[in-house]
Every structure is written in structure tokens, then in C-alpha cells.
Amino acid sequence: MKLLLLFALVALSQCHVHRVSLKKMKSLRQTLKEHGLLDRYLKQHPYNLATKYFPSDTSAEPLQNYMDNEYYGTISIGTPGQEFTVIFDTGSSNLWVPSVYCSSMACSNHNRFNPAESSTYVGTNESVDIVYGTGSMTGVLGYDTVTVASIEVVNQIFGLTETEPGDFFYYSPFDGILGLAFPSIASSGATPVFDNMMSEGLVAKDLFSVYLSRDGQSGSFVLFGAIDPYYTTNGISWIPLSAETYWQITMDSVTIGGETAACPSGCQAIVDTGTSLLAVPSTALNNILSVLGASSNGEVSCSAVSSLPDIVFNINGEAFPVPASAYVIQSEGTCILGLQGMNLPSQSGELWILGDVFIREYYVIFNRANNMVGLSPLS
């Protein structure tokens, strides 16, 4: 077995594959809290996760979705390359970064793209507007070479911000967003970065995979064009997509302690690297809080965490458990469930979001060739 794994790893190193290391950094929530701005921010910017998945004509992309995100990677845009820290987000499809056109305070504290310093930039007159709830990011669309790991995607369309909402974004640890969902949800008809990688034959296989480390460990990555066999020794469960918009799948049920706690007749779920928590329909959340003995705000006794049962997601006839060590977030002596209530109806029933709390327990493969999600339990 070890010899086969060695051969597979050698083959992987020689393939046309590309790995982007993800850094685990301080979240925006932590930064705002340290500056005494968190309470004010939350009052002025009510959390509405639904706008990410049911956007208006201006393509909503609420910044709050990224409040607790801690995994960021580096890309470059232009010739020569200008570097940006971005969230690799399977829950959206557009690429955008701050630009020198932006005079907002928020842009002044981030890397800004300068078209004049790129010999390959091609501008357009087309505008882009991404709504954040109480303000919006506005900008223009342009084309340039985008480099992800060692992949050069020429003539990639992307958004250059001209305004960014509020002074809070000033503290954000990331510059922009690189969306990895399907073209059907891209604003302004933009072709997503990974779609261009596939159409130009820049990846060995039409898939990418994600590993998110636990507890501040290093080693998180997005791997384009391949599956790393080191992370699949426990086998891969393949789940067909139920929609080719987000990475959406059908769940059979959610059980706790062997009893159905939610989704009794099946429901939908989106596997989203750009959402840090588990987003749960409000009625289901209330039942889960009750079963786990949590308060109405999701708080549990830290001394009881070790005895809490797994939350088990039953998908495509298989069980995918998430232990309490993963779904309870401990901070400053307080233990809170990493679940966020919301209501996102879909044509096929209730909609859940399986964010980083879930993804950290599995090596996740996003397969565009067969429109499937692969899950391999991590040891």
C-alpha cells in the first residue's frame, strides 16, 4: 500500500497539476473585535447569507459571508504580475480585486491593481456592481493574464473595484475573491477562472481539490487538475450534483445520536469554501440546539464538548459525520456551535451550506468532468 502511494505521489509530481498553498490567517471577525469595531459592524451590517445564493440583478455577494474565513491564497494579475491575497470561493464565480481607481478608505489598505503597469491589460466600458447589504462594491471589468500557482490564464475577465463599502473592509485580511462555482451564476456573463483553465487545456483533469487544515495547522491547499492520493487513503465517495450553479448536492437526512434531527425528507446542500460555518435552516437549527443542549445563541458548556455526539450528514446513502471538536468553536473561554441559522428555500426543498466546519473533516474534490463532488474522510 505504501509503495503504491509512493508511485502515485511521484506520478502526481510529474503531472500537469498545480497546487496553491492556503495560509490560515486571522479572520475579519477577530480583527474587528481587536479594534473594538465588531459590535458596531454587526449592527450596521445585518447578516443575510441568503443574498449570496439568491442574488438580485446586481449580483449580491455579502462581505459577512467571509467574516470568519481564515484561508487565503495568492494569485497575480498582469504582466509583470501584481500579487493579491484572495479567498478561493466555491460559492461564487467571479474574480475581483481592488484597483487604483478605488479611492475608498478600504482600498488604501490593500493591494490595488494598476492597469497602467501591465502590458497585457485590456480595458472595457462595462461596469460591475456587487451588493453588500448596506452598500456596494462598484467597479469596471477588464481582461488580463491571471496566474494561479504556475497556471497562466490569458485574457481572463475580472472586476477592478472603484468603490468598496465602509471603513470595516479596511481591516479585511484578503484583497479579493476568486470564484470557483459555475458560469451560470457569474455576474456580467464573466467566464470563471477555472472554466478558462479547462477550455485552454491548462489542467491535467477537469477538477480541483481542497484540503483545509484543522486547528491552525499549516498545509492547506487548492490543487488544480488532480487528486492528491495522500489524502484519499480512506477512499472517495462520489456524489452527483443536483444543480450546475453552485456545488449543490442532495442530502438524505441529518442525524444526531442515531435519531433524525433535521432534513427528514431530504434537502439540498451547497459545499462552499467561502462560508466558514454550517448554515442551517432556522427550524432545523432550533431542533439541533435543543438536541445538543445548547442555548438559543448556540452556546454550550466547554466542559461538555467532549461528550457531545457527532452531527451526521447522510448523503447519497452514506454517512458523513462531523464531530463536536469540529462543529464547536472555542474562543476566550466560550464555546459556541459553528452553525448559522438562515432560510434558503430551493426548488428541491430546504437548502443547507456546508462550509469550512464540514470541509475541514474531508478532502473535497470538485469534479467538473462528471459534475460530482468527491469526499474522502481525513484521518
Would residue 242 be called left, alpha or beta, if left means φ above 0 and alpha means ψ between -120 and 50 degrees? alpha
Q: Of 175, 206, 228, 272, which one is the catalytic site residue?
A: 272
Which residues 6+ apart lie within 8 Å of 154 measured at CB? 120, 145, 200
Q: Of 89, 195, 310, 356, which one is the catalytic site residue?
A: 89
Instruction: For residue 310, give the DSSP letter.
Output: P
User: CA–CA separation, 163 vs 99, rounded Å?
Assistant: 9
Helix (H, G, I), strand (E, B), or coil: what is residue 56?
A: coil
| Count of alpha carbons within 13 angstroms of residue 101, beta-carbon side | 17
Helix (H, G, I), strand (E, B), or coil: what is residue 50?
A: helix
- Whether 272 sits among the annotated catalytic residues: the reply is yes
How far CA 217 is from CA of 23, 180, 302, 356, in Å, comes to 10, 24, 22, 14
- Whether 129 sits among the annotated catalytic residues: the reply is no
Facing residues of 270 across strands? 248, 353
User: CA–CA separation, 242 vs 173, rounded Å?
Assistant: 33
Helix extents (H) in the chain: 2-14, 28-34, 38-44, 50-53, 105-108, 193-199, 282-292, 324-327, 356-359
Asked if 61 contacts 177 with a C-beta cutoff of 8 angstroms, the reply is yes
**Residues carrying an active site annotation:** 89, 272
